[in-house]
Amino acid sequence: MSTSFTSRLAMLGLALLAACNQAPPATAPTKTAPVVPGPDLATLTDSAAPAALLAYGRQYPGSEVLVHTRLGTIRVKLYDDTPIHRANFLLLARKGVFDETMFNRVVKDFAVQGGQTYNARTIRLKRYRLPPEIRPGHFHRKGALGMARYDDEQNPHRLSSNTDFYFVVGEKLAPNQSQAMAGRKLSPAQVRAYAEVGGVPSLDGQYTVFGEVTEGQDVVDKIANEPVESDKWPVRDITMKVEVVK
């Protein structure tokens, strides 16, 4: 064996040894989604949801959210005396559920409803329901935030949807109109609000109002004036991002 060949073998051995001693190439850390506190949505049922949501609301309170859309941002105040609906809305907002939904039913001069998902137009989240929290002082004036309800024949207790919310638009009504439509005795302040601001008094006492628009009613009005298909779904999707700010 020649000296030069032996030298080349030695050099090759040193190179292989160096390669074996090198640290493995660095890999980018795996990004994991942050864990959002609160009950597992998949475990909530009609019977389990109220206690779980009340406990969540006490531990993780909140009172104000922003609803961002392509037409602008809506600032919403959530009421303290509807704690189950408020906690549910906060929980779904913080878990990003609403960020996968859009305004799916728009009826001009009545209301705009959101909370449905993309594509197949069916909600992917398990449908637990909420007990009604109807308060006489909260009524369907323009800008009220309420929760929808489904399948009344199979829903004798009028349990609210867990995801489908709406903002009231309505029209201005003369005192005798609002009183007749309400089906209940309205306070002078409520009659005045329906006359000066507008709303939909026929919904009073039927659905839970759990908040109100404090800024961005013009955005709600823009949504209400969007062109819609025959099923009241906007021709151009109106998606949303819901942010808890307070």
| Dihedral (Cα; 60, 135, 78, 125), 10-degree rounding | 70
Whole-number Å distance between alpha carbons of 65 and 114? 15
Q: Is pTM, for the whole model, over 0.85?
A: no
Whole-number Å distance between alpha carbons of 226 and 219? 11
Q: What is the predicted pLDDT for the residue at 36? A: 83
Hunting for tokens 């949505």 — which residue is that?
41
Q: Alpha carbon 162 to chain centroid distance?
A: 9
**Domains, the chain, ordered by start:** 38-169+207-244 (2.40.100.10)
* DSSP per residue, 185-216: PPPHHHHHHHHHT-B-GGGTTTS-EEEEEEE-
Model confidence pLDDT, tens digit, residues 50-104: 999 999 999 999 999 999 999 999 999 999 999 999 999 999 999 999 998 999 9
Q: What is the predicted pLDDT for the residue at 118? A: 54
Q: What is the predicted pLDDT for the residue at 207? A: 95
Q: Which segments of the chain have a pLDDT < 50? A: 1-21, 23, 119-123
Give CA angle at 191 (188, 193), nearest 5°. Answer: 110
Residue type, 2: S
